């Protein structure tokens, strides 16, 4: 009986997988998370054996080492395949395994049956020992089943995958593993309503690259733009590409050592910090090392000398009515005036 499963999303964003109409690394993460969710609903202990960004060897070893060290009953790497630059039609799904392991074969057949039931073409079970010599199959100490969900360049494969969605695919795989129906409409975790944005900083809305409810899509976008992060709707940084330069931060205080005087937030945009400091006389902008980068220059107002009286001649008029008219105009402007005879 399968009670503990290690699930691994194939490849990573540094050592990328196949790319066509859809991207393998992005999509296999979605399916992987769905499989984990449904296996847990089915009462199974599940461990995520998916590494972060790393080299190809480190990526492969992480998965099999995780499975072996945790004494899993099954190791399940999830992939998407590619054969051509483009393909108009369907190619299908396939499962790689050790044909001499009865458990692998039984699980592989059930998974393949489930995928075919969703509409994918049956490419059958493949020999991962004598054929491709796949690391995931050879280096694991337990039954291992590597799934190629469909082909990323095949128009009909991708159209079907997008139509049914990754969650349905993940549920079908999980049911194939446990050989039973899992979950109902009342206990399946609903789709996330969270929104993720990819920006240089949460408050820098102008730098936004994308807004999406799909965390994996957001991560994929951030991975191709160093220094960008993924933020949730609360402004929390939920993902940043490992190895990306950490952006400088700016704080607004009366003095660097006066932490209690800090106002506003911790900014990653210097100009936003500067603009906020301009609204608070006496406050300065400091970088993360405490260096004062900006102080508002305060110009002292010029105080007029009240001992001096200035008179302004508004004009000379031969006609008294002209002078009276000018006095009225000045009065409307709030200027007091009077007539004199030269």
Neighbouring C-beta atoms of residue 284, cutoff 10 Å:
19
Whether residue 52 sits in one domain with residue 12: yes
Whether residue 36 sits in one domain with residue 159: yes
Q: Domain containing 27 — which CATH number?
A: 3.40.630.40
CA proximity to 91, closest of 43, 143, 21, 145: 21
* Position 318 in a domain: no
As to burial, measured by CB atoms within 10 angstroms (0-12 exposed, 13-18 middle, 19+ buried), residue 316 is exposed
Q: Which pLDDT belongs to residue 309?
A: 58
* Position 112 in a domain: yes
Q: Which pLDDT belongs to residue 187?
A: 42
Whether residue 11 sits in one domain with residue 112: yes
Domain that holds residue 273: 250-295
Whether residue 290 sits in one domain with residue 172: no
CA distance 81 to 87: 12
Q: Which pLDDT belongs to residue 185?
A: 38
* Position 164 in a domain: yes
Whether residue 124 sits in one domain with residue 58: yes
Q: Which pLDDT belongs to residue 255?
A: 93
* Position 291 in a domain: yes
Whether residue 255 sits in one domain with residue 221: no
Structural domain count of the chain: 3
Tokens coding 28? 């296999």
Sign of CA dihedral 268, 272, 274, 280: negative
Q: Which pLDDT belongs to residue 24?
A: 94
Whether residue 214 sits in one domain with residue 99: no
Rounded to the nearest angstrom, the gap between the alpha carbon of residue 25 and the centroid of all alpha carbons in its chain is 14
Whether residue 18 sits in one domain with residue 143: yes
* Position 317 in a domain: no
Whether residue 277 sits in one domain with residue 129: no
CA distance 317 to 311: 17
Q: Which pLDDT belongs to residue 212?
A: 78
Sites in the chain below the pLDDT cut of 70: 133, 184-193, 242-247, 297-318, 321-322, 332-342
Give the full edge-to-edge strand order of the sheet including 93-97: 45-48, 4-9, 74-81, 145-151, 93-97, 122-127
* Position 115 in a domain: yes
């Amino acid at each position: 009986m399968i009670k503990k499963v290690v699930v691994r999303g194939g490849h990573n964003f540094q050592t990328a997988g196949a790319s066509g109409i859809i991207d393998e690394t992005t999509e296999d993460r979605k399916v992987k998370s769905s499989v984990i969710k449904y296996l847990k609903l089915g009462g199974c202990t599940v461990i995520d054996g998916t590494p972060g960004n790393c080299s190809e060897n480190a990526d492969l070893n992480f998965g099999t080492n995780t499975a072996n060290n945790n004494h899993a009953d099954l190791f399940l790497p999830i992939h998407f395949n590619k054969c051509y630059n483009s393909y108009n039609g369907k190619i299908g799904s396939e499962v790689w395994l050790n044909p001499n392991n009865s458990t692998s074969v039984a699980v592989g057949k059930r998974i393949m049956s489930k995928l075919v039931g969703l509409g994918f073409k049956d490419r059958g079970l493949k020999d991962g020992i004598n054929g491709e010599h796949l690391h995931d199959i050879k280096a694991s100490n337990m039954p291992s089943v590597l799934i190629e969900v469909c082909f990323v360049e095949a128009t009909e494969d991708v159209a079907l995958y997008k139509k049914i969605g990754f969650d349905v695919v993940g549920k079908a795989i999980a049911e194939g593993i446990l050989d039973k129906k899992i979950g109902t409409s009342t206990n399946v975790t609903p789709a996330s309503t969270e929104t993720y944005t990819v920006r240089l900083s949460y408050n820098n809305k102008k730098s936004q690259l994308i807004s999406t409810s799909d965390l994996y899509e957001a991560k994929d976008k951030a991975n191709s733009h160093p220094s960008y992060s993924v933020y949730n709707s609360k402004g929390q940084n939920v993902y940043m590409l490992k190895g990306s330069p950490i952006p400088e931060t700016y704080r607004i205080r009366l003095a660097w050592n006066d932490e209690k005087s800090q106002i506003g937030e911790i900014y990653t945009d210097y100009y936003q910090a500067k603009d906020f400091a301009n609204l608070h006389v006496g406050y300065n902008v400091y970088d993360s090392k405490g260096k004062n980068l900006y102080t508002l220059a305060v110009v002292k107002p010029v105080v007029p000398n009240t001992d001096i009286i200035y008179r302004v001649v508004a004009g000379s008029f031969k006609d008294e009515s002209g002078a009276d008219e000018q006095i009225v105009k000045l009065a409307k402007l709030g200027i007091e005036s009077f007539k004199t005879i030269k």
